[in-house]
Structure 1
Amino acid sequence: MNDVNGMSDEPIYLAGGESILEVAARVDRSYWYSGASVASQAKGVANAVAPLVLEASDVDKGFHMALRTPLADWLTEKFSHGVAKVTQADIDMAVAKCNASIPPIETVREAAETEGVIRVGTKHYWAQGLLSYMGERQFLASRNREITEALTYMLDRTTHLDKRVADRTKQITDTLASWAARRGYRPARELSVPVITPGSTYFGRHDLVIFRKPAPSIVIEIDSQPNERSVPKLDFAYKSGAIPMWIRWNKGDAEDPNTGVTVIDFCDVPADV
């Protein structure tokens, strides 16, 4: 059991009965006669140990992808003093570092009220969604007919319907981001969101978030065909106080998500150029 500082008196054992320290030592030994440099050996140990440290920490599994690279970099530096030098204190410190990687709710709240974005590891998160995930309830936003009509009108008359455009999803995103910027809003693309979508073990991303403080943010998913992974992200956005919109183009049919999500369909657009 870890104490409040994340340190432990006993080795942390994995499901197979092998401790993380034993794994580190075994990987060290595999390099002894390889001729690899100390830096390469340290990197090999770090890459073997990093996912095990994350599994042993209290960090939600959805954050593991964001924390894996910075943790491995830190471990590489820590272990680079030579082979067979990894100690239990090193492992305990790494676990503690993982547990301290998630920002406190006060920091997330401040980010939600200011920039709207907060970094966790290598990923930028929608701060309001992370705040909701951490247990702080948000006021539900009402559907906004004016926004829906404005976006539908604009998208229906822009070049994203041009068959010559190779990446129409990107063009729709660019069009929406420009629309937001012209109105003094702040668009942000590809923000991570604390929702594990079907078929994944890590958190997903929103295609576009438009910050409109003090008005509710607009969270947008853009799909060229029905995508079941968009539905839980949009439902989460609604429960987190945003106006969620699902823009679908190209082809296909899908069941609409829950009540709070607005769907704009352009599914009669041919798929082939």
Structure 2
Amino acid sequence: MVVGEDGERLAASLADRLDAVTFTDLTTDQVTARLIDAVVDWAEERGWRVYRRASSVLPLPPPMSAQQSVLDVACARPDGPPVVVEVDHGTRRRTWEKLLAEADAGRVPLWVRWGAGRFTAPPAPILMVTCEVSGRPDPTGRGRVHSRSPRADKLPPAHSAVRVATVDAVELPLPPPGSPGA
């Protein structure tokens, strides 16, 4: 499947929605759940039918190949092909395989990848929506916790409003010390 402008528009819209998501000191599982909730809200706002943990077209690997893999979110929409979304903290080959199989079945594949950066781009036609978070050791000693600040908190600091006095231009090169005119 060629995703095209529709997929690009959907990925940009979802990225805008995720930009508003903030949290403090959540575990990896809690961040993933929070982002899945945001994806569900985004899809429901558009009037789509939304399915959590929907069956994928890709079967599980052996010995459980009689069962299907599941998608974090699948959306049926009246104005276009279905949209499928996977939310991951890491880069997993299995996620790519699943989303590629969904694309081959005519669905728009979106991959929400969250973390501290250094995101590996997926193969086409999978569209990646990134969500940068910061992480630190959990103060209780149970792994790591993650936080995400509002975008306004990430703006560069304002520069000083104090005016600098006018400085006369200096002709270069400067004369050596001790020479006349120095």
With the length of structure 2 as denominator, give the TM-score of the two structures. Answer: 0.63
CA distance in 2, matches of 1:188, 1:171: 16
2:43–2:50 CA contact under 8 A, matched in 1: yes
The alpha-carbon deviation at position 240 of structure 1 amounts to: 1.0
Residue in structure 1 matched with residue 76 of structure 2 by the alignment: 211
Residue in structure 2 matched with residue 163 of structure 1 by the alignment: 24
Q: 1:215 to 1:194 in 2, by over 3 A?
A: closer
Q: 1:216 to 1:230 in 2, by over 3 A?
A: same
1:226–1:253 CA contact under 8 A, matched in 2: no
The 5 Å alignment of 1:47-126 reads: none
Higher RCO (CA-CA < 8 Å; seq separation 6+): 2
- 1:220 aligned residue (66, 85, 88): 85
- 1:244 aligned residue (109, 126, 137): 109
1:189–1:207 CA contact under 8 A, matched in 2: yes
Query: Quick one: which amino acid aligns to residue 48 of structure 2?
Result: Y
Quick one: percent identity of the two aligned structures?
23
Unaligned ranges ≥5, structure 2? 137-143, 146-182
CA distance in 2, matches of 1:200, 1:223: 24
CA distance in 1, matches of 2:85, 2:103: 11
CA distance in 2, matches of 1:256, 1:215: 25
Deviates more, 1:143-152 or 1:213-222: 143-152
Residue in structure 2 matched with residue 174 of structure 1 by the alignment: 37
1:141–1:216 CA contact under 8 A, matched in 2: no
Query: Quick one: which amino acid aligns to residue 115 of structure 2?
Result: N
Query: Quick one: which amino acid aligns to residue 56 of structure 2?
Result: V
2:18–2:131 CA contact under 8 A, matched in 1: no
Unaligned ranges ≥5, structure 1? 1-138
Residue in structure 1 matched with residue 140 of structure 2 by the alignment: none
Q: Which has the higher helix share?
A: 1
The alpha-carbon deviation at position 220 of structure 1 amounts to: 0.3
1:245–1:263 CA contact under 8 A, matched in 2: yes
2:52–2:74 CA contact under 8 A, matched in 1: yes
CA distance in 1, matches of 2:21, 2:41: 12
Residue in structure 1 matched with residue 15 of structure 2 by the alignment: 152
With the length of structure 1 as denominator, give the TM-score of the two structures. Answer: 0.44
Q: Looking at CA atoms only, which structure, 1 or 2, has the larger radius of gyration?
A: 2
1:186 aligns with 2:49: yes
Q: Which has the higher strand share?
A: 2
